[in-house]
Structure 1
Amino acid sequence: MNKLIKTVSALALSLGLAFSFVAPSYASSLPSVDFIDVSHHNAENGLPLSFYQTIKGSGVQGVVVKVSEGNYYVDPAASVNIANARQAGMIVNAYHFARYTSNFEAKKEAIWFDKKLQLVGFDKKKDGYVTIDVEASGLGTASQVTEYTNTFIKQMKALGYSRVDLYTGSYYYNGQLIPSKLVVNKPWLASYPANPVKNKPTAKFINGKGAWQWASDYKFIGMSRYGNFDVSEDYAGKYTKKTSSTQVVTNGVGTIKVVSLVDYMKSKGMNASFSNRSKLAAAYG
């Protein structure tokens, strides 16, 4: 994730026209792109359905959407990213960026996260994991940050979220947290080697391998306009597989279709006669 230091170009949205994206291809030695994480840094107004359909067709199974931060912020792209990723048939997960420096603030942030998850359309019973992103400096000692993080996780479970996980950097995990005292195992860790190799994470896991975020500057072939992405390999299946019978995953990826003006007008209950189409065309140049 590490969005605080990223600058990503703005996204120009499209309105239902056919796209000429090229599905990405991966060198056999590179780690898999099992899932990505996104926020408004990738697209201020959210990534379009066509983007998610395209990467789903290339093998990307899941997405982790930024929803909130601290107890004051909600990501403006969250609802669009969740809706479009779900429609494309991807496993939808969500994350919150931690700012807490006490148990009281950890509980408060969990309550904030819960409210914003509901606001942006995340379903605690039908969608995937909710993840706490712990990487900010100045949160406290390793013992304190571990305690606050456990408090957050326990509060989320008390609010009805049965699938809760931890994301952080490998260095932070092993230096600013105490892994053996965390109430979650098989975490999602970031480590960006110069030459990443498939199924050989450089992240140092202590209590089981969950997922490895191996790059933060990945570009999908043919879709450089969308900027860089964080990409991860999923070992525990948390972010790419159905975790319950109630989890909603749309069957099939679907395709982008060219919709005629007549069909569009009829779908909206409009008069689609030639004279009305002429008036509409003249009005929009």
Structure 2
Amino acid sequence: MTRPYVLDVSGYQPQARYYNFWATWKLRGVHGAIVKLSESTYYRNPYGAGQISAAQHEGMKVSGYHFSRFRGNASQAVAEANYAIATANTMGLPQGSVLVLDYEERLGYRGSNTQAAIAFLNTVKQAGFVPVFYSYSGMANLWDFEEIHRQTGAVMWIAAYPTMSGVTYPNYNYFPGISNFIGAWQFTDNFYGERIDGSVDLTGVFTTTAQEKITSGGNLDSVTFDNNGMQVSGWFASDKAQGKQYPYIILTTEQGKELSRVNVQIHDRPDVAKTFPDIPGGGKSGFTAVFPLTSEMVGKKLHVIFRYTDDPNGNGNYVDYTSVVDLTKSDAHLDGINTVVYTNKLRVSGWFATDYSLDDAYPFLILYDVDKKREVQRIQASQGKRPDVQKAYPDVYGAIDSGFTGEFNYDASLVGRNLQVIARYSNDEKGGEGQHVDYWFDPFNGPAMPVIDGKTETEILVHSFNANEIKDGLISLKFK
């Protein structure tokens, strides 16, 4: 009997974002993908969402794993579990998928390590994922898997490599039978000689694609900004919400520090009921809340927790759905660079929107000499409304007011120079220093000075002027 294989990938396999990667492995008998989502409470796989999507496209059953750093600390284990859950939801790992605790730190004590692992696995189980415990067979003295299984129902994904050489199939003579609840065996870290971890699925935990009823789910649909603050909207429904009549949205840091909570009214979501008919209460599961923006949020990735609870204050017995709001985004575009005929000015216009500008309200423009690595001029920019930017980037703070224009003094000494425009928001109204955030646009060559073509007639009204012939019939005009 040939059992199906499983491949686990992480940030070390950016190529796993492409369909042909999984198509190749599928021909080798791989039917499941386990994607690294997160580590501790400080790292998310930058390719995770793409790896999940690509594997799904090629028909793989997709699971996720979290690399733990909590050792024997149960409270830290819960914080890491919530981080993993939020990451899974944000990256598109389907509800009801396997979420693995990857436990590899060869430290701590057996009792406390076991209890911390139980805390992690029960947290992800409560969030609607299937818990699985991963570790090396040589670390069995650092945890009690039978107790972990008894308290969480998790099966084990065990790692033991008979050889470090490239292999194409497992040697079952070396199977590490340390428990009756082993669901999969990672038998190599050099599958087909390609330095990728390969496992054999013994029970279907990572490859059986038969879908059970989905009875819990949610989504953070949108994040937008206006004068009232940050508005988050989405939905959450669960079979575990029965008897929990108080809906809340809670905003926390990634480390679990609460910033704000709002007791909300749920609203109709007929689209959810149609898409997920087996989730109780899906037809009335919509949430919306507005949070005031504070300095503590700037440049952070925050957790948005959708909650049903039996406690009017939002604690008590509860069931949560957690997602992530990213307040580290910036985008910009330089729409135009033009020399102005009559005033010897270099006019620039464009837009710059950034989540980091919450505390930096004053816009500046800087003209920079790339070769000499020094600033040429600095001016205060004029801001303008950009509804087109807000429409395209509704989740970036300040998009509606992101337009800018400004005019630098310009003369022949700047023609042909390698110049660069820097857009800046600063908390220093006068000088543009202090706390600030910048966007450096692509360098450009200083344009030629504007010259009237000698044919077109142009009339302007001035108070006074003087004229001097330069050469070749050209006349320099100065006027007020």
CA distance in 1, matches of 2:196, 2:170: 18
CA distance in 1, matches of 2:99, 2:12: 19
Task: Select the residue among 187, 190, 194 that pairs with 2:156.
Answer: 187
Corresponding residue for residue 103 of structure 2: 134
Report the CA distance between 1:69 and its aligned residue.
Answer: 0.5
Report the CA distance between 1:53 and its aligned residue.
Answer: 1.6
The answer as to 2:102 corresponding to 1:122 is: no
Alpha carbons of 1:112 and 1:229: their partners in 2 closer, same or farther (altered >3 Å)?
Answer: same
**Kept after mapping to 1: 8 A contact 2:131/2:155:** no
CA distance in 2, matches of 1:87, 1:49: 7
CA distance in 2, matches of 1:79, 1:60: 20
Task: Select the residue among 21, 41, 66 that pairs with 2:12.
Answer: 41
Bigger share in strand? 2
Alpha carbons of 1:158 and 1:208: their partners in 2 closer, same or farther (altered >3 Å)?
Answer: closer
**Kept after mapping to 2: 8 A contact 1:46/1:78:** no
Q: Which amino acid aligns with 2:136?
A: G
Task: Select the residue among 150, 162, 168 that pairs with 2:135.
Answer: 168
Report the CA distance between 1:137 and its aligned residue.
Answer: 2.7
Alpha carbons of 1:33 and 1:201: their partners in 2 closer, same or farther (altered >3 Å)?
Answer: farther
Corresponding residue for residue 192 of structure 2: 219
Alpha carbons of 1:81 and 1:246: their partners in 2 closer, same or farther (altered >3 Å)?
Answer: farther
Q: Which has the higher contact order (CA 8 A, sep 6+)?
A: 1
Report the CA distance between 1:136 and its aligned residue.
Answer: 1.4
Corresponding residue for residue 156 of structure 1: 124
Q: Which amino acid aligns with 1:176?
A: L
* CA RMSD in angstroms, aligned pairs only: 2.2
The answer as to 2:227 corresponding to 1:239 is: no
**Kept after mapping to 2: 8 A contact 1:201/1:212:** no
**Kept after mapping to 2: 8 A contact 1:186/1:207:** no
The answer as to 2:173 corresponding to 1:207 is: no
Superposition pairs of residues 79-118 of structure 1, within 5 angstroms: 79-101=49-71, 102-118=73-89
Report the CA distance between 1:185 and its aligned residue.
Answer: 4.8
Report the CA distance between 1:246 and its aligned residue.
Answer: 5.0
Deviations 1:6-63 (A, max 9, x none): xxxxxxxxxxxxxxxxxxxxxx9xx8661110001122x6431111122123321001
Q: Which amino acid aligns with 1:123?
A: P
Task: Select the residue among 55, 60, 81 that pairs with 2:25.
Answer: 55
Q: Secondary structure at the match of 1:61?
A: strand
Deviations 1:245-284 (A, max 9, x none): 358xxxxxxxxxxxxxxxxxxxxxxxxxxxxxxxxxxxxx
Q: Which amino acid aligns with 2:90?
A: L
TM-score normalised over the length of structure 2: 0.40
CA distance in 2, matches of 1:84, 1:233: 21
Q: Secondary structure at the match of 2:180?
A: coil
Q: Which amino acid aligns with 1:211?
A: A
CA distance in 2, matches of 1:117, 1:176: 27
Report the CA distance between 1:170 and its aligned residue.
Answer: 0.7
CA distance in 2, matches of 1:103, 1:93: 24
TM-score normalised over the length of structure 1: 0.67
Of residues 145-154 and 31-40 in structure 1, the stretch that sits farther from structure 2 once superposed is 31-40
Q: Which amino acid aligns with 2:195?
A: N
Of residues 205-214 and 66-75 in structure 1, the stretch that sits farther from structure 2 once superposed is 205-214
Q: Which amino acid aligns with 1:203?
A: P
CA distance in 1, matches of 2:119, 2:100: 13
**Kept after mapping to 1: 8 A contact 2:131/2:154:** no
Q: Secondary structure at the match of 1:182?
A: helix
Report the CA distance between 1:134 and its aligned residue.
Answer: 0.3
Corresponding residue for residue 65 of structure 1: 35
Sequence identity percentage: 25
Bigger share in helix? 1
Corresponding residue for residue 431 of structure 2: none
Task: Select the residue among 47, 50, 60 that pairs with 1:77.
Answer: 47
CA distance in 2, matches of 1:152, 1:243: 26
